[in-house]
Structure 1
């Protein structure tokens, strides 16, 4: 296989410039620092509930809020192992995408007969989320600015030319939007993505949940789940027991409470940098006046956006699989240096701008690269997971699915093949790590060979396990 260098290898910045821009950074999510949570008590006494939600990220919070809106008299308890939004919900880029399938290519490949329905339902879900932000008074800095997909290599330009979605931008037009010398073309889908402050979204949902009557408990890790003798479900925490009529599991990347889903996700770490606020001259040097979310077309892609105070978030590229979630995986110097290098190649005019924060988060990756759904324990336990980095919006849809399942409702959502069919599990270790590393190597090779996919990637495509970012 021939190997071509990418623009990031052809035009690297000085090592001294990378050192200077990273030196001021500290390890920690900017979003969580900027919007600390209000705090909730720990569950210390036995209790009962009509519905227990396990997990205090977006999926669990949306489930609790929507459950109370469906039935205000229902007693709902939410149990979070740490603090609200501390994991993926406080560490992501804040891209609220309409897609439920991780993009059109993935969706059409897996569910060709129902993709149009999935696309419509995804748009309706995004519209409903935006209405909820307004109706519930969620202070989340929502901006529906869309996503600008950019090409920096000739083969990526060809991909964009073949695409028919959004507005086409040639080289001069895309560089007029965002003044990066490496951008060769773009497609701007203006209405398929909103941007939010991720931690604010989690904390505002928790606030509204409390106002609706949801009992929210932090530092209340669920350690076991069993079927009760009277037909309910018994959940054990470190200090108390909860008996519930129904349970919604929204545990994201963490060890599932159901044995059947323990091979359905693997943790993949994503790395992020956040700059200091740009001053007026720096902001003028890059343009970006319409504040779109930005993502490039590489298999190992970068994503970026502006915060409300004109910081640039820059993340992606490295996707590092780990066998378990642990804080020790978050400070990976090689990934942060690579991101800083790519950032300075993308925006050379911003040399001298400092990064103030660096952080990482574990993505709950599934073999289908989007969420899977299910029902267990004779219809008393619903679950959703495997959002693979696209959960800010899709978790709301998943919450509706779980509530439909628990109610026994036959809806358009529950009839979807995407909802009815389980995700193919990963093989046990060490086979999972071997396969994931081989796939990651192959994706890197594809990015260095004009996007051409090797035999492994083509085989995974045929098996329904392939992926195009």
Structure 2
């Protein structure tokens, strides 16, 4: 069957517009540059003991540290970060903090239908708790409880938004954000917030230290084992060992210290553009007065938002996997992905043809086959882990931190009893099968976007067994 062009392809700008807009862009993460990436904490150089050792200085590790000290202020908590706090996914994402802890309602209902209402409620409570923590902990992270706007850009997507609580017809959606591509919309006014991702990580670290957490940067954990004589978990770095009663592994996209988890996630690269600040006239031409987060409904979706100084962050679409589950700096520079994003940006906002991009970057997302985090205990219940947030970890990591601490407590709690917490998703296959399967899935998803959303037999088979790939 002949494939149709997508709305972004039908409305593509002149290539010269794309080239001009990208010409002076920096290959740097805007958030990290704005917040500063200097080392703030010492390197671990001598062995020590603690009550809880946390491996990983992103959101999951930081929330676990903060909440552990709030639960038990007297315990000693040590956090080890391989590079700088928040340098990886936590410092370079879009800054969307969503209520959903199941990667959206559709995914949650499909995988955990019997407990979805509970998961939905827990997600809303988590976002409200996040909001309170921003104020109670004094987190200076440009928090904005804006909600989100989902838009249909193809005729076949319009029915997907029918019946939404805050449904918008074509005139209403364009009065919110003015784009000739938008055909229909749905507002979620309270289900998400926007945040400066790098500042959030740095502020969580500050709050953790004020609570008494010891943070060490440039202190990569290279091994973990149980000392059965001392009944301790020993986390080893190149220069020292931390011996503790319990440990949390919060390394997410990076190679797990646990062999059993090394096939559970794959790193998928997501690409992002940031514009220069819009002028008053440019901003007026698109509206966006409520400053909501923005997403479309395609399989290969786009997301966009305004920053505090009225830049537009625009990302998504390409989700690139590299053979061998590798995470490498050179994968972040992919000119064809940046050019495609820029073309889609100007198709969405042709009135911004004179806007330039100041920054372009990428980051690796820890994708798992159920699209949302999985959990577990090892080493006789002394080590807890979570990974696989699949791009929606800004809010979900706060919830996950409490799950991990509940698991380590050894007791039964409402969180530890959740099927979502007790269930392990299917692993990805080893190479070369993983690469073949993932790239075939990407091709099939792209084909569906070009065929009015119709999923082929391959995608329907994956849906039937609960095996997915997403960013």
Tell me which interval the TM-score lies in, with the shorter structure as reference length: over 0.9
- Paired residue for 2:148? 147
Do residues 4 (structure 1) and 4 (structure 2) align?
yes
- Paired residue for 1:312? 312
Q: CA deviation at 1:234?
A: 0.9
Cα distance in 1 between the residues matched to 2:467 and 2:244: 37
- Paired residue for 2:195? 196
The C-alpha deviation readout for 1:93-135, integer Å capped at 9, x for no partner, is 0000111110111111111111111000011111111100010
- Paired residue for 2:394? 392
Q: CA deviation at 1:11?
A: 1.4
Cα distance in 2 between the residues matched to 1:468 and 1:382: 25
Do residues 416 (structure 1) and 415 (structure 2) align?
no
- Paired residue for 1:366? 368
SS at match of 1:132: helix
Cα distance in 1 between the residues matched to 2:203 and 2:238: 27
- Flag structure 2 segments of 5+ consecutive residues without an equivalent: none
- Paired residue for 1:350? 352
Deviating above 3 A after TM superposition, structure 1's stretches of 4 or more consecutive aligned residues are 466-469
The C-alpha deviation readout for 1:358-399, integer Å capped at 9, x for no partner, is 000000000001000001111100000000000000001110
Correspondence 1:226-265 to 2 at 5 A: 226-228=225-227, 229-265=229-265
Cα distance in 2 between the residues matched to 1:285 and 1:156: 25
Cα distance in 2 between the residues matched to 1:166 and 1:36: 41
Task: Give the conservation status (yes or no) of the 8 Å contact 1:458–1:466.
Answer: no
Task: Give the conservation status (yes or no) of the 8 Å contact 2:112–2:420.
Answer: yes
Task: Give the conservation status (yes or no) of the 8 Å contact 1:106–1:468.
Answer: no
Cα distance in 2 between the residues matched to 1:34 and 1:46: 35
Cα distance in 2 between the residues matched to 1:2 and 1:404: 53
Task: Give the conservation status (yes or no) of the 8 Å contact 2:367–2:469.
Answer: no
TM-score (norm 2): 0.98
Q: CA deviation at 1:453?
A: 0.3
The C-alpha deviation readout for 1:315-357, integer Å capped at 9, x for no partner, is 0000001221000100000000000000000000101111000
Q: CA deviation at 1:409?
A: 2.5
Task: Give the conservation status (yes or no) of the 8 Å contact 1:106–1:467.
Answer: no
Q: Provide closer, same or farther for how the CA distance between residues 464 and 391 of structure 1 changes in structure 2, counting only shifts above 3 A.
A: same
- Flag structure 1 segments of 5+ consecutive residues without an equivalent: none
Q: CA deviation at 1:165?
A: 3.8
- Paired residue for 1:105? 106
The C-alpha deviation readout for 1:206-226, integer Å capped at 9, x for no partner, is 000010010000000000001
Cα distance in 1 between the residues matched to 2:187 and 2:445: 25
TM-score (norm 1): 0.98
Cα distance in 1 between the residues matched to 2:391 and 2:122: 19
Do residues 213 (structure 1) and 215 (structure 2) align?
no
Cα distance in 1 between the residues matched to 2:470 and 2:33: 33
- Paired residue for 1:40? 41
- Paired residue for 1:87? 88
SS at match of 1:272: strand
